[in-house]
Structure 1
């Protein structure tokens, strides 16, 4: 039996029902003008000038989150799968990470509710273990999704 790598065994999933149509949630994930409004945990920002997306298979993206003390958290990745408005698969790492060692994000967006006025978002991260209350990656993404919910509701 082949040995499993850490990337294959460390993973978590977060699901949310969002009060917005699927196309609106898709735009939140793919429009660089939307990222500053939600793509960060609480008390951290993502300035628009630090966001660049090339949303297509093989296209790259980057964004940098900045904490209140000025610490920068640069993030880069490559889109592996882009199926508007339902699925994104992309690598997620830091500049300089080896391609084979970076986590992979999969975001599935499904229509939800009687008239599709809501979206069931399933976010899966393979390559990092996480759980509620970890004060790490899981909680960071969970807080970002709270920011997204506020953006969509406002």
Structure 2
């Protein structure tokens, strides 16, 4: 298999998979960014080809708009998204293909987040931006929400 330039985290979340899935589908704004950052969900059309648009905001007034599309959605199992396209399949400057997997494991949920990059340089840049710490913190926040709504 070709080098996919992947970064990956995996966490065992102490909540049933249905609650973790609902945390994504219904409560995304509560956990998607590491605090103190926040996110405003502009659109979440959770289907293949559907738009994913949000604005991440930092504590010092930073704004980072994110626009992309969902490539694959398998309820309770997998969500694949990319910023390589915006709504209407308009090409954009690609950074990642994100893959979120949800699986049952001993009454809990195995959550795996994968970021695939077009180049080794983009992967290294993402790693230097704090991928492991950031995506790990987000997984902790996801667990908080999933446990609350379970």
With normalisation by structure 2, the TM-score equals 0.79
2:45 is matched with: 54
Distance 1:94 1:136, change over 3 A: farther
Alpha-carbon separation, structure 2, partners of 1:93 and 1:38: 23
Distance 1:85 1:130, change over 3 A: farther
1:20 is matched with: 15
- The count of corresponding residues between Structure 1 and Structure 2 is 140
Give ranges in structure 2 of 5+ residues lacking alignment.
none
Offset of residue 20 of structure 1: 1.1
What is the CA RMSD across the aligned residues, in angstroms?
Answer: 2.7
Q: 2:30 aligns with which of 37, 46, 56?
A: 37
> Is the CA contact (8 Å cut-off) linking 1:74 and 1:95 kept in structure 2?
no
> Is the CA contact (8 Å cut-off) linking 1:75 and 1:95 kept in structure 2?
no
Partner-residue secondary structure (3-state), 1:26: helix
Distance 1:17 1:51, change over 3 A: farther
Q: 2:139 aligns with which of 113, 127, 145?
A: 145
Runs (4 or more) in structure 1 with deviation over 4 Å come to: 93-97
2:80 is matched with: 89
Q: For 1:53-76, what per-residue CA distance to the aligned partner results, in whole angstroms no more than 9, with x for missing partners?
A: 001111111111111111111112
Give ranges in structure 1 of 5+ residues lacking alignment.
none
Distance 1:138 1:86, change over 3 A: same
Q: 2:112 aligns with which of 122, 133, 140?
A: 122
Distance 1:38 1:93, change over 3 A: farther
Offset of residue 82 of structure 1: 0.8
Partner-residue secondary structure (3-state), 2:123: coil
Higher share of residues assigned strand: 2
